[in-house]
């Protein structure tokens, strides 16, 4: 990846629906060159896909939480399999330190969040958990 690819990715991260002709104009390249670069980045797995980013009004309607899990030895694979089936689990990361896994949850209500937390706590292989409810976002550099 060179500086042009990095600039192209930056533009696409701001708005993945930007027409190729507009990207080409901003980068000072031919449209066919930009399309070829996008195709190459997709083929190499640098661009894995394009996603919808919800606006602030939708985000305000979502309750988010981070859950820190302590697992029984060798239970990670089985717990992950069950977590994948839970719609409220947006991401799961293995971790080093006091906790074995970090989960990102999203729910439409406190009752839905409570239900998801109860189901996670009841999973075979989960030894303990700590939940952190997100109150407000002060910095968000994801996009």
pLDDT value for 138: 87
Residue bearing the bigger pLDDT, 125 or 51? 125
The 10 Å CB-count burial string (b at 16+, else e) for 74-88 is ebbeebeebbeebeb
**48-102 residue pLDDT tens:** 988 877 666 666 678 999 999 999 999 999 999 999 999 999 999 999 999 999 9
Tokens describing residue 105: 């949850």
Q: Is the pLDDT of residue 32 over 70?
A: yes
pLDDT value for 101: 97
Give the phi and the psi of residue 74 in degrees, each rounded to 5. 60, 25
**Residue 92: in which H helix or E strand, if any?**
strand 89-94
| Residue 121 DSSP label | H
pLDDT value for 53: 72
Q: Is the pLDDT of residue 113 over 80?
A: yes
pLDDT value for 1: 86
- Total Cβ atoms within 10 A of residue 33: 14
Tokens describing residue 121: 């706590």
pLDDT value for 34: 95
Q: Is the pLDDT of residue 136 over 90?
A: no
pLDDT value for 139: 87
Do residues 130 and 72 touch, judged by C-beta distance below 8 A?
no
pLDDT value for 141: 76
Task: For 3-43, give the CATH class.
Answer: mainly alpha
Q: At what angle do helices 20-27 and 31-43 cross, to 10 degrees?
A: 110
pLDDT value for 95: 95
- Report the chain's C-alpha Rg in angstroms: 20
**pTM of model > 0.85:** no
CA gap 114, 117 in Å, rounded? 5
Instruction: Give me the architecture of the 56-133 domain, per CATH.
Output: 2-Layer Sandwich (3.30)
Domain locations in the chain as residue ranges: 3-43, 56-133
């Amino acid at each position: 990846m060179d500086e042009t690819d990095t600039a192209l990715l930056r533009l696409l991260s701001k708005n993945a629906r930007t027409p190729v002709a507009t990207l080409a104009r901003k980068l000072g390249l031919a449209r066919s060159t930009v399309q070829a670069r996008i195709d190459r980045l997709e083929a190499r797995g640098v661009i894995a896909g394009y996603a919808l980013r919800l606006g602030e009004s939708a985000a305000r309607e979502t309750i988010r939480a981070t859950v820190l899990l302590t697992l029984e030895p060798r239970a990670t694979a089985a717990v992950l399999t069950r977590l994948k089936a839970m719609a409220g689990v947006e991401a799961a990361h293995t971790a080093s330190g006091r906790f074995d896994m970090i989960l990102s949850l999203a729910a439409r209500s406190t009752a839905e969040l409570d239900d998801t937390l109860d189901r996670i706590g009841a999973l075979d292989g989960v030894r303990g958990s700590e939940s952190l409810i997100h109150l407000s976002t002060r910095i968000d550099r994801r996009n």
